[in-house]
Structure 1
Amino acid sequence: MHDTQIEDWLKLAGGKENIKLVEHDKGTTTLVLKDSTQLNMSVLASTDVVADIRVTGEQCHLTIRDESSLIYNALLGMDAWDSTGTALQKAGHAKKNRFSILHFVSDVFRPLMPGILGAAVIKIIIAIIALMDTYSSADSSALMDSQTFTIFRILGDGVFYVLPVLVAISTAYRLKSNIYVAASIGGLMFYPEMTMLMSGEKDVHFLGFPLVSQPAFYTTAIWVILTICAASYLERAVQRISPKFSKGMFVPFLTLLILVPLVLMILGPVGTWIDEYLPEALDSLVANAPVVSVMLLGAVFSLMLIMGLHYWMLAIIINDMVMNGSSMVIPAMLVAIVGQAGAALANALRSKESASRRVAFWATGTALLGVVEPALYAVNMRKRSSFYAALLGGAAGGLYYGLLSVKAFAIVGNPSLVSLPLFIEGGSLNLLHTCIGVVIAFGVSGGLTYWMAGKGQKSGQASPNASIE
């Protein structure tokens, strides 16, 4: 490998000071760059350098074909790399060993944030207008019933409606698999006949396996991501054994023929079991141990969101409203969402990256106002400490609500600060206790996240690898 070629690679990367990690895997060498804006794209035009440049969120990867590891060894063998070459190599292995499904899910969601945040703002404005209409003495029902208002509401919900497709595409892009096959898998439940089949009017079976009538359960982000990961693995396996003339057709054919039915046969019975036992178990828990149940729901509701189990909460809430005129489940959902907002704000305050700070600040605002996905997926899932802190914040707020028997007196999809008037009860301090629980959940999750992030930064500074992380 000639020195001039190595110099070209370093120029393209923006200089050796812009490289924070060097990895070699399966015939390629990857340079992980600190700042994608430092890339010198003119090198591609003036030399015969060929590279795959991929920017995902804040990370920029410069991948070079390097079958014999000559580039990798040359970079680590240069004088400029003597002091850090071993550390870089160790950091690369450590990074691979520290793979986290939470971080991967967050990476999938990061590119989707502009669309999600834009739609979230529209949803929040619509929710505020609807709330003002509910408590307004004037007759404004003409606005609420108008087609214009309906179209604006659809604009806000549209991104979340097609979110399974977007998540499938983003996952496939990260795994370098076929994004069009992934989009087809993500959009399976949108097919009108499938929607009608899953309407709940009759039992549905596939190859003898029961399918629960919850279409949204199958298209929850985590199941879509895991399905596309399996599709990517199957795609690579089939490509290795299929003849060249049929690769373009044979791989998608087998992926759709084998994988999608397999996922339905796994999730269908699981969903059926959940549908049979979860509502009854939660009803019994709320009736017999309200304090413990509200605390646990405050802690695990975010996990239920991730796994698509929150769709079963509606039946429980409706039953509570019919039987008691109030619900203790909605307050637990509120503190769980506020806990995610508190952790997101702490991440925003601790982050040193301007892009991360912007996303985290916006995610905090949208979570407080009822749209929790940006805070949950794009911010808190990137760090296990902040994710766990958000769960603990929800548990702390839920414990307070359980002890004070805080209730909601109207049904709401995702409770938020906008829906606080639904907690008003004449002659009681229910609304005051609601606000105190919100402060507790926000403070505990935010405080724990801020503290643990500070400890992580201090340990990073003390580590010999701190300069390359």
Structure 2
Amino acid sequence: MAENIYKLEETILKNIGGSENIKSYTHCATRLRFQLINDSKVGYDALKSTDGVLGVINKGGQTQIIIGPAVEQVYHRFAGLLKNQKGAGELALDGASLENSENASNPSKTKVVDQVLAYISGSIQPTLPVLISAGMISALLAIAVTMGMDNQSLTYTTLIAVVNVGFAFLPVFVAFSAARHIGTNEFIAAFISLITLNVFNQQAELNLFNLAVPNIKYMNSIIPVLLMVPLLYVVDRLCDKYIPSVAHFTLKSLIMVVVCLPAMLVVFGPVGSLIGGGLANACIWLLETTGPIALAVLSALHPITVMFGMHYLFTPIMTNEVAMTGYSFVLDRALAANFAMAGAAFAVGFKAKKSINKSSGFSSGVTALLSVTEPALYGCLVRLKRPLIAACAAAGISGAFLGIFKVKAYAIASPNLLSLPIFIGGEGMSNFVLACAGALLAFVLGFGLTYVMGFSEEA
């Protein structure tokens, strides 16, 4: 065992300004994500040169430290380290906001767009394991059916019900996560979302306080809860301000539900449905009419959106696509880009002279093929520059191929070797074969372009 298992975590804590500079923190698949009181205290150069840190960026109101697949272990050790810090008990874990900090920065200094993006991203990221697990079960069922499993059997019916829960009740998970992210009651948020799903989901002629309740499909739709939770936060704070503390336990939750539920049903539900449906329809129309061009652009830019941690913003669009049509076109961009980045990383491993680049190329290439792409992106492509250009070009060409043949994803999961069965669906196996061909094309082009273009190892 290492003499000090907190060495990496101590270095991170020191270079983000200490525990007193942290407003909140959480993690996603590969990154520690911090909301800090004063971003100027971050030692970017020191963090980037730290063993175990693949990169550091500040985007969407967050300081993001890229760790790679080991991020969850680092996160838990970081939490353990903070528990030993004086006053660290005041820190909010998993994204819950700190309140009433004397040193808190003026919110007006933070760009509204950054705040909105940080809120959406921070609300969606923790729910991705639900989407991925449901998507993978769906993919495995698709394989089983092609191998002869009866899709009318009780086993299939049971497992597909598990998949449906993951997607249909996604708004509940997002509501909980969003409430935790901004610092209001997660269980009230989830409760309101469950009410809309179980009581008011496409029920005709409903009425609440003499307000006609529109007929809205709440299942799979996460935009209404993303709109509702900030109102819940405001009501929560007003209750703290005007209701005596002795009555909080009895009255506060009641008021939050009575105010936010009608707003959800009459305002946020219809508006969110309109926004979500509009975005999904726009993407479907764009990709069906100009598919090769649109998908080529989205695929080529996907590594860049991953660099800035903004690729999660496509999740509401994809969930609405699947809810409306049963499939997603937008996920194709990640299929093309992920395999292109894997190919570029492997080319670095084969072509590099320095052992550190060879090792980084091969190891991160395998990781990109099997799970996540950030180690390849930050360990090879961004650092060596030309492989990133090659990967983007390969992704764009492969995206055009997928757009020409209108390849569809029938479940949501990060495209990699293990999750390719999410492209099994429709009639026959042609869609799956085309998806595999697109992935192979992306990998070969990423490898070939990187190998031909070369790169400098002096940086």
Q: TM-score range by the shorter chain?
A: 0.5 to 0.7
Cα distance change, pair 236–334 in 1 and its aligned pair in 2 (3 A): closer
Say whether 1:214 aligns with 2:211.
no
TM-score by length of 2: 0.52
Contact 1:120-1:366 within 8 A present in 2 as well: no
- Name the counterpart of 1:238: 239
Structure 2, gaps ≥5 residues long = 1-5, 24-35, 43-73, 303-310, 347-362, 383-388, 414-418, 450-454
Contact 2:176-2:186 within 8 A present in 1 as well: yes
- Amino acid of the structure 2 residue aligned with 1:39: L
Structure 1, gaps ≥5 residues long = 1-10, 70-88, 134-139, 318-328, 350-357, 368-374, 449-453, 459-469
- Amino acid of the structure 1 residue aligned with 2:335: V
CA offsets 1:346-381 (integer angstroms, 9 cap, x no match): 9x99xxxxxxxx9x99897579xxxxxxx99xxx9x
Shift of 1:241: 1.9
- Name the counterpart of 2:200: 194
Say whether 1:52 aligns with 2:52.
no
1:395-434 to 2 correspondences below 5 Å: 396-402=397-403, 405-407=404-406, 412-413=410-411, 417-418=420-421, 434=435
Distance 1:159 1:276 in 2: 20
Cα distance change, pair 154–413 in 1 and its aligned pair in 2 (3 A): same
Contact 1:168-1:183 within 8 A present in 2 as well: yes
Q: CA RMSD in A?
A: 6.2
CA offsets 1:29-70 (integer angstroms, 9 cap, x no match): 9999995276386x79xxxx664165746x999x89986x8x
Contact 1:212-1:272 within 8 A present in 2 as well: no
Say whether 1:129 aligns with 2:174.
no
SS, match of residue 187 in structure 1: helix
- Name the counterpart of 2:315: 306
Distance 1:161 1:443 in 2: 37
Cα distance change, pair 205–313 in 1 and its aligned pair in 2 (3 A): farther
- Name the counterpart of 1:353: none
Aligned sequence identity (%): 19
- Amino acid of the structure 2 residue aligned with 1:171: A
TM-score by length of 1: 0.52
1:353-392 to 2 correspondences below 5 Å: 365=370
Shift of 1:231: 1.2
- Count of residue correspondences: 354
Distance 2:274 2:197 in 1: 23
Distance 2:229 2:257 in 1: 11
- Name the counterpart of 2:14: 19
Shift of 1:128: 1.9
CA offsets 1:320-340 (integer angstroms, 9 cap, x no match): xxxxxxxxx96x445234157
Cα distance change, pair 246–361 in 1 and its aligned pair in 2 (3 A): farther
Contact 1:29-1:66 within 8 A present in 2 as well: no
Say whether 1:336 aligns with 2:330.
no
Distance 2:120 2:293 in 1: 30
Cα distance change, pair 277–212 in 1 and its aligned pair in 2 (3 A): farther
Contact 2:336-2:399 within 8 A present in 1 as well: no
Larger Rg: 1
Distance 1:275 1:173 in 2: 23
- Name the counterpart of 2:162: 155
Distance 2:284 2:125 in 1: 36
- Amino acid of the structure 1 residue aligned with 2:152: D
Distance 2:405 2:393 in 1: 19
1:451-462 to 2 correspondences below 5 Å: none
Shift of 1:212: 5.3
Distance 1:313 1:273 in 2: 16
- Name the counterpart of 2:306: none
Contact 2:280-2:320 within 8 A present in 1 as well: no
SS, match of residue 194 in structure 1: coil
Distance 1:185 1:19 in 2: 40
- Name the counterpart of 2:78: 36
Shift of 1:269: 4.2
CA offsets 1:417-458 (integer angstroms, 9 cap, x no match): 3266769999xx99876545435667899999xxxxx9xxx9
The answer to which structure has the higher helix fraction is 1
